[in-house]
Amino acid sequence: MLGRKTQIIAGILAGLALTAACTSAPDPGPAAGNDQKTSAAPVPATLDLGPKDGSNDVAPGEPVTAVASGSTLSEVTLAAADGTSVPGETDAAKQRWNSSKPLEYRTKYTLTARSVGADGNPVTRTSTFTTATAKAQAYPSVIPLDGETTGVGMPITIKFSAPVADKAAAEKMLTVTSDKPATGAWRWFGDDEVHYRTKEYWPAYSTVTLDIKIAGRALGNGVFGKADRKIGFKTGPSIISKVSDKEKQMRTYQDGQLVLTSPVSLGKPSARSVSGTMLIMTVQSPYTMDSSTYGVPTDSPGGYRTTVKYALRLTNSGQFLHSAPWSVRQQGRTNTSHGCLNVSVENARWFYENSHRGDVVVVTDTGADLKPGDGWTDWRFSWDEWRKKV
């Protein structure tokens, strides 16, 4: 009996030992003096102001800014020395403020910004600066006109009223957008004129917007932009006319379809029509053709002064597409004009009623070439030539 009792006790002790061996030991507690969590120190508020305090010759059109980090803006003021305040806008996060109106030239301004950070401490920063003096201001005149409907060949031309020395900076202030994809680029003609031309013709029936953001911004050599402008225009149908002097038949395509064939009489040997890709510049009726406008007196041999219907200008030097009822018998056969493209009254009326500035007229095989700048001659260039900086 005693032996069995001893066995039972031994079994219980062995079970306890096994249980203890299968049970994980508790983790040691934290050492005395150590916290279980470390609190991060509050980030102090910072404010960056632009322009920097003490800046001179600041472009009046560049934005004045206050940027808060680790904090939110509570108040921002910008005022001229005479107390005139300048408005601005704060973003939704209240961390950035931008002025919303160009500054005046040759004026001292003070920018003051206040913010409060997570540490609860307010921060105030001040920047006092002076804007530049403009030697000249450049106003941008634009072709085409706002709201105009143009042909698909129409370039955008900006003529500045003062020379632009920093052309690269100026181009960054010009933005062209189209609702239909169209690759394009700017090219300068001298220091005061820049053109935007597409790689291919504009897509027909597209909407194009030019955004000029130059007001108060530096264009180089003390010249600043005078005003911002926004111009919107639309392209009409694609109307492209082609004529070879060999055939003397002008074929006109609208949206890719042949819609008109016009017998033509081009310039006679002593006054050849020029070959090249030209654009319709004006559409007028009636119009008086006057040889004295290009140096030939009307009362001299070869001089003339004739009023015609349905005249469409192709060059600055006086090459037109127009009605010529007196040469209908020669049209399609021989060249009798002073350089113009003579067509019948009926065909000229079609152009008058359907054409827009910027429609394309391609003349070939005349033995004389279109000169640079004699009209809207942007399509004389290949795309690679157009993109070269000049």
22-52: pLDDT as tens digits? 334 444 444 444 544 555 666 677 899 999 9
Task: With CA atoms as reference, report the closest residue to 197 among 176, 171, 180, 169.
Answer: 176
| Strands, sheet with 156-160, edge to edge from the N-terminal-most edge strand | 140-143, 156-160, 193-198, 184-188
Q: Exactly one of 195, 338, 340, 356 is catalytic; name it.
A: 340
pLDDT at 40: 61
pLDDT at 32: 46
pLDDT at 13: 37
Annotation says 356 is catalytic: no
Tokens of 75: 């108040």
CATH superfamily placement of domain 239-375: L,D-transpeptidase catalytic domain-like (2.40.440.10)
Break the chain into its structural domains and give their ranges: 46-130, 136-235, 239-375
Class (C level, CATH) for 136-235: mainly beta
Q: What is the pTM of this model?
A: 0.83
pLDDT at 389: 76
Strand 184-188 vs strand 156-160: parallel, antiparallel, or unpaired? unpaired
pLDDT at 30: 46
pLDDT in tens, 97-146: 999 999 999 999 999 999 988 878 899 999 999 999 999 999 999 999 99
**Residues in the chain with pLDDT < 70?**
1-43, 390
| CATH assignment, 46-130 | 2.60.40.3780
Annotation says 322 is catalytic: yes
Same fold, 136-235 and 239-375: no
